[in-house]
Chain A
Amino acid sequence: MLDNNIALRMTRKALIYIFMTIFAIFLGFPFLWMVITSLKTSGQIFIYPPVFIPDPVQLSNYTDAWVKASFSKYFFNSVFVTVLTVAGQITTSSLAAYSFSRLHYKGRDKIFLTYLATMMIPFPVVMVPNFVIMRVFHWLNSYQALIVPSIFTAYGTFMLRQFFMSIPSELDEAATIDGSSKFGIFCRIIMPLSKPGIITLCVFSFIGSWNSFLWPLLVTNKQDMFTLPLGLAIFRGFEYNIQYNLLLAGTVICILPILVIYLLAQKFFVEGIALSGIKG
């Protein structure tokens, strides 16, 4: 009886591992194949049966992608745009979230409702007018176009407001009695106590901005201004003689920074999604 039970439990365990591994192959293998292809010579790519261990390992694909295919430029653009977008989002949305959660004045909730209402509107709806605004500002093919419109996020404001609401208001009152200004309370009490929320928003907005494609596609058509996803799309083009090894080296370059962030902040991802349920 006891032996039977153990055997049953072992089989169950084994089955779970088998299924987990099958799914892990489905979800993880494309990454592996990406890396394998990025290390092959162009001759090894078009071979049947497929080569799983590149021989020789051609690391120069990465230097070629980085230098000759201008991925260094795209990388710099992506870093620059993403860092400024994240900084801008955190600044503007934390200030607004503080106002929505802590300050009392007429009309506050009406403004907040407007924010909530626009969150339901899909991006394609505002895409055309935003493009026109960029044209009027003469911002097409500029960093401003890639950064400025993305700074003002209703989603981030909403998320931080929820976070700020959970901080007890007695802390504010005590600080007010001690003579602290509203801005002082914001800087010295609310922000330090909301670190997990701020980091979660940082991570989401980093991923969102780094992977953003449709908007950069609309407002840039000069190679100097391309971010990594756009650079990848253009480098691939729609031709038949695609240099797959360089292209996939480019995808690895594009994914690597996100992978590092994901490894460092995995906890915040999972909690952030469970908390807000919205993809950045």
Chain B
Amino acid sequence: MKKTNNSRERRNLLTGLAFIAPNFIGFLIFSLIPVGASLVLSFSNWDLISPPEFIGIGNYKELFTADPLFWKVLWNTVRYCLIAIPGMMILALLLALLVNQRLRGRMIYRFIYFLPVVTSSIAVSIVWTWMFNTDFGLINQFLSIFNVPSINWLADERTAMVAIATVGIWSSAGYNMVLFLAGLQAIPRQLYEACEIDGGGTIRKFTSVTIPMLTPTTFFVLVMSIINSFQVFDYVYMMTGGAPNNTTKSIVSYIYDNGFQFFKMGNASALSWILFLIVFSLTYVQFKMQDKWVEY
């Protein structure tokens, strides 16, 4: 009896593993092993040609103490997030509230709002770079109607990151709109009716029903937006390449530069782990803080 049990267990195990195998082998080679390898590499010095040399926390120490550009790209990325995340969340909420009204034609509007989400970030960067063009860009030509002198959007330190963040907002608002919309539609009608009976108007209904009931969605949108925004790369690469004066270079751009322009593989790996730790701790802190403001 025991024997048959054992052999059945083994057969189950083999069947189970056989189904996982095609995925797991690739997962092992392209995800699991690279995660470990990257951690090891972050403690070494390697230019892809000579053998890697173990240097302990050398890369981290160099980044934190001897690399002013590191602090700059960190700050740039935070600046991007500070502009883009509130922008994309507020816009997304507005869009969701508007589209949630049962008006004719709302499907067409929703279609347009979501369109940037599915569009290639490279195509997006190209058309926006063209619109931000100093001499012939549509934005400056539009502003010149109001006698605004032409702005060197992507080459001026004061405006370059704002321009990139605008594109970030433009391309992610529709995605967050869909999430907010799902949240809005999950609010039970009875809550609004109860608020109405208590004499609440439109504004009251919004502040005491919609906003609290949307906090779980808002929490989710915030967490995802932070994770994604900290990894901004494509727009920077295409729109400014990190210029002017490295004021738009992001963490991932810096990883790309160090790893694939200067072939400092250890340094690039260390940077990528710092990125992971930042994103991970921000997510962790948010989960810890959610009882303070998220209502379930």
Which A positions have Cβ atoms within 8 angstroms of B?
13, 16-17, 19-20, 23-24, 26-28, 30-31, 33-34, 37, 45-50, 91-93, 95-96, 98-100, 103-108, 111, 114-115, 118, 120-133, 135, 148-149, 151-152, 154, 157, 182, 186, 207, 210-211, 213-214, 217-218, 228-230, 232-233, 236, 238, 244, 247-248, 251, 254-255, 258-259, 261-262, 266, 269-270, 273-274, 277-279
Stretch of B67-75, B189-197, B267-275 that contacts chain A? B267-275
Stretch of B56-64, B76-84, B156-164, B228-236 that contacts chain A? B228-236
Contact of B141 among A30, A48, A124, A128 (CB under 8 A): A48
Q: How many residues of B contact A (CB 8 A)?
A: 93
Stretch of B113-121, B207-215, B288-296 that contacts chain A? B113-121
- Tell me the minimal C-beta distance from B200 to chain A in angstroms: 17
* Interface of B: prevailing SS: helix
What total count of A-B pairs have CB within 8 Å? 263
Q: Which residues of B contact A104 (CB under 8 A)?
A: 12, 16
Q: Are B259 and A123 neighbours in the complex by a CB distance under 8 Å? A: no
Given A27-B113, A266-B111, A274-B182: A152 and B19 interface contact (C-beta under 8 Å): no
Q: Are B175 and A273 neighbours in the complex by a CB distance under 8 Å? A: yes
Q: Are B131 and A127 neighbours in the complex by a CB distance under 8 Å? A: no
Q: Are A46 and B20 neighbours in the complex by a CB distance under 8 Å? A: no
Q: Are A214 and B233 neighbours in the complex by a CB distance under 8 Å? A: yes
Contact of A105 among B13, B25, B41 (CB under 8 A): B13
Is the C-beta of B43 less than 8 angstroms from some C-beta in chain A? no
Give A147 to B17 CA distance when docked, in angstroms: 24
Contact of B272 among A98, A124, A278 (CB under 8 A): A124
Q: Which residues of B contact A111 (CB under 8 A)?
A: 20, 24
Q: Are B19 and A98 neighbours in the complex by a CB distance under 8 Å? A: yes
Give A98 to B276 CA distance when docked, in angstroms: 30
Given A37-B130, A277-B179: A122 and B276 interface contact (C-beta under 8 Å): yes
Contact of B268 among A128, A238, A270 (CB under 8 A): A128
Within 8 A of A (CB), among B97-140: 98-99, 101, 103, 106, 109, 111-124, 126-128, 130-131, 135-136, 138
- Tell me the minimal C-beta distance from B186 to chain A in angstroms: 9
Q: Which residues of B contact A125 (CB under 8 A)?
A: 34-35, 38, 269, 272-273, 275-276
Given A23-B94, A130-B34: A121 and B234 interface contact (C-beta under 8 Å): no
* Interface of A: prevailing SS: helix
Which B positions have Cβ atoms within 8 angstroms of A?
9, 12-13, 15-17, 19-20, 22-27, 29-35, 37-38, 41, 48, 91, 94-95, 98-99, 101, 103, 106, 109, 111-124, 126-128, 130-131, 135-136, 138, 141, 170, 173-175, 178-179, 181-182, 220, 224, 227-228, 230-231, 233-234, 237-238, 241, 251-252, 255-256, 259-260, 265, 268-269, 271-273, 275-276, 279-280, 283
Contact of B19 among A49, A95, A262 (CB under 8 A): A95
- Tell me the minimal C-beta distance from A209 to chain B in angstroms: 11
